[in-house]
């Protein structure tokens, strides 16, 4: 893949909405809007529809509140409940476990990919919870561009930018969690 591809998905700034923990919903809505879906919903409305886990387990729904940090809670939502929710608005495809090249292939087809990474692509800082080990610096971004040795992301905290694949891939591969927002 030698041609530069930049889908140009919008960037939703989660902190502007007071959502200190709303990266998954922001990245998902960016991808849905890119595909022409859920256009009648802004980020605030979308967040209010996010499924909340009654047992604070991100494998069951959002584990806490997107608006506050609560001690002992892991405020995130993982792929399965995110797909259950997001499929109400568009077409999603689970890519967890996929090699990075698969993610790039989806972007090349015009399908952005929500990827679970870490804040600022720093090394994961692992914490233990009853549901398993997760990075305390958990984050999600929308992968929406590729160009040679670089990828482009729409990051709900830090905006839109290019970064080297050598920085993106190890952080993605630490968990291999991703969802394509398809046509």
Q: For residues 172 and 58, give the distance between their C-alpha atoms in angstroms, rounded to a whole number.
A: 18
- Predicted pLDDT of residue 91: 97
* pLDDT of 1 higher than 90: no
- Alpha-carbon separation of residue 167 from 105, 111, 116, 151, 171 (angstroms): 18, 22, 14, 10, 7
Residue 33 CB: number of other CB atoms within 10 A? 22
Q: Residue 71 — pLDDT band, cuts 50, 70, 90?
A: confident
Q: What is the pLDDT of residues 138-172, one digit of tens each?
A: 999 999 999 999 999 999 999 999 999 999 999 99
Q: Which residues contact 124 (CB under 8 A, 6 or more apart)?
A: 118, 135, 137, 171, 174, 175
Higher pLDDT, 112 or 1: 112
Q: What is the dihedral of CA 30, 175, 98, 90, to 10 degrees?
A: -30
64 phi and psi, to 5 degrees?
Answer: 135, -135
Give the chain's domains with CATH numbers: 5-182 (3.90.70.10)
Tokens standing for 20?
A: 């200190």
Q: For residues 119 and 22, give the distance between their C-alpha atoms in angstroms, rounded to a whole number.
A: 13
Q: What is the pLDDT of residues 11-70, one digit of tens each?
A: 999 999 999 999 999 999 999 999 999 999 999 999 999 999 999 999 999 999 999 998
Length of the chain: 183
pTM: 0.97
Q: What is the pLDDT of residues 77-98, one digit of tens each?
A: 999 999 999 999 999 999 999 9
- Predicted pLDDT of residue 72: 86
Which long-range CB contacts under 8 A does 70-76 form with residues at least 24 apart?
74/127, 74/129, 74/131, 74/134, 74/138, 75/20, 75/21, 76/21, 76/24, 76/134, 76/138
Q: Answer yes or no: are the C-beta atoms of 129 and 74 closer than 8 Å.
A: yes
Q: What is the pLDDT of residues 96-107, one digit of tens each?
A: 999 999 999 999
Q: Residue 2 — pLDDT band, cuts 50, 70, 90?
A: low
Cα-to-chain-centroid distance, residue 134: 15
């Amino acid at each position: 893949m030698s041609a530069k591809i930049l889908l140009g998905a919008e960037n939703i700034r989660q902190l502007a909405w007071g959502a200190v923990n709303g990266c998954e919903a922001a990245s998902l809505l960016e991808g849905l809007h890119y595909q022409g879906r859920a256009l009648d919903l802004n980020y605030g409305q979308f967040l209010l529809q996010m499924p909340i886990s009654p047992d604070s387990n991100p494998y069951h729904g959002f584990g806490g509140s997107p608006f506050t940090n609560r001690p002992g809670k892991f405020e995130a939502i993982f792929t399965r409940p995110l797909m259950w929710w997001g499929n109400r608005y568009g077409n999603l495809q689970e890519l967890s476990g996929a090699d990075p090249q698969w993610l790039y292939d989806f972007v090349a087809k015009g399908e952005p990919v929500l990827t679970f990474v870490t804040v600022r692509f720093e090394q994961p800082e692992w914490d233990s919870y009853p549901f398993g080990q997760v990075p305390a610096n958990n984050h999600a971004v929308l992968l929406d561009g590729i160009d040679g040795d670089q990828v482009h992301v729409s990051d709900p905290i830090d905006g839109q930018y290019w970064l080297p694949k050598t920085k993106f891939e190890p952080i993605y591969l630490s968990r291999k969690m991703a969802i394509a927002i398809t046509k």
